[in-house]
């Protein structure tokens, strides 16, 4: 079974609007972390935001916020006030603390395209 | 200064050759990783390594081997290259071998096997 599922292969958003990128996960480990990375067309992987399974509040980093719904096992990324430079692939990832090596498991990604 | 660097950025080689990709991090991190991103953009862990333990993803062929001369370096050696090895390879590092720390990625190495 997929551990990380991103159901939106591609999305469009109008510049200056907010957009939500979906991510659901599957784990039986009580302690885990959820990460979002951005990959622009230049190819590098840029860390955006992190949410721990025991965190009481949703994580926020500037225009990025994570809508963490633990019971539903979802960790959606919300980008407010979209900019043209937000056009990129976005990857949701999970690390389970009991997973040997603490390796990240990635979802299939969502390609976001911001329209002017 | 670049936190995680990889060389080369591009690598084109023929089937059957042996090649290496170098990775260096200057963050003082304890754990380094190698990931493979295929043509469909799917990212998959290959190895996790700190100075005590190497964890290998069971799906990785034994033609791939990580080698770490010191804590700041984790190089990837690939023997007998195959067409299916063509991908972008990312090195990453994180603080500590346990705990939930974010990983910092290198710029990637695009490997093309002809």
- pLDDT confidence of residue A96: 84
CB–CB contact B88 A43 (8 Å): yes
**pLDDT single digits (tens) B99-114:** 567 889 999 999 999 9
Q: Strand A105-106 relative to strand A4-5: parallel, antiparallel, unpaired? A: unpaired
Which residue ranges in chain B fall short of pLDDT 70? 1-2, 52, 97-100
pLDDT at B98: 61
Q: What is the pLDDT of residues A29-58, one digit of tens each?
A: 888 999 999 999 999 999 999 999 999 899
Query: What pLDDT is stored for residue B100 in this prediction?
Result: 67
Partner residue facing B55 (CB), from A50, A91, A103: A103
Q: CB–CB of B107/B9 below 8 Å? A: yes
Distance from the Cα of A105 to chain B's closest Cα (Å) equals 7
Q: Evaluate whether A3 touches A94 at the Cβ level (below 8 Å).
A: yes
Quick one: pLDDT at residue A53?
Answer: 92
**Span A104-116, mean pLDDT?**
95
User: Residue B30's pLDDT is what?
Assistant: 87
A99 versus A109: which is more confidently predicted?
A109
Quote the pLDDT of residue B59. 84
* Selected residue of A102, A105, A108, A111 to mutate for chain B interface (largest B Cβ count, 10 A): A102
Nearest partner of A34 among A108, A105, A113, judged by Cα: A105
Q: Within an 8 Å CB–CB cutoff, is residue A61 touching chain B?
A: no
Give the tens place of pLDDT for each residue, A81-108.
999 999 999 999 998 876 666 778 999 9
Residue A86's SS3 state is: helix
In eight-state DSSP terms, residue B75 is E
Which chain A positions have a beta carbon within 8 Å of B31's beta carbon?
Answer: 102
- Does A102 sit within 8 Å of B97, measured CB to CB? yes
- Interface test with chain A among B43, B54, B88, B94, by most A beta carbons within 10 Å: B43
Give the rounded percent of residues in chain A with a pLDDT score beyond 70. 94
Q: Is B102 helix (H, G, I), strand (E, B) or coil?
A: coil
Rounded distance between C-alpha atoms, residue A39 and residue A45, angstroms: 5
Question: What is the pLDDT averaged over residues A51-71?
Answer: 94
Q: Does A89 touch chain B (CB under 8 A)?
A: yes
């Amino acid at each position: 079974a997929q551990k990380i599922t991103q159901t939106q292969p591609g999305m469009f958003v109008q510049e200056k609007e907010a957009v939500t990128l979906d991510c659901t996960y599957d784990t039986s480990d009580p302690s885990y972390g959820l990460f979002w990375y951005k990959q622009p067309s230049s190819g590098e992987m840029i860390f955006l935001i992190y949410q721990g399974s025991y965190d009481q509040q949703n994580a926020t980093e500037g225009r990025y916020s994570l809508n963490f719904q633990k019971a539903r096992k979802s960790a959606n990324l919300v980008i407010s006030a979209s900019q043209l430079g937000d056009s990129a692939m976005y990857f949701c990832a999970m690390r389970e603390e009991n997973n040997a090596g603490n390796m990240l498991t990635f979802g299939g990604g969502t390609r976001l395209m911001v329209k002017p | 200064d670049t936190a995680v660097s990889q060389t080369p950025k591009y690598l084109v080689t023929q089937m059957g050759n042996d090649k290496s990709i170098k990775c260096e991090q200057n963050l003082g991190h304890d754990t380094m990783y190698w990931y493979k991103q295929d043509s469909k953009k799917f990212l998959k862990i290959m190895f996790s390594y700190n100075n005590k333990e190497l964890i290998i993803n069971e799906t990785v062929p034994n033609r791939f081997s990580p080698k770490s001369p010191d804590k700041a370096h984790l190089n990837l050696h690939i023997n007998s290259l195959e067409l299916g090895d063509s991908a972008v390879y990312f090195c990453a590092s994180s603080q500590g071998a346990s705990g939930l720390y974010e990983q910092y990625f290198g710029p990637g190495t695009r490997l093309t096997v002809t």
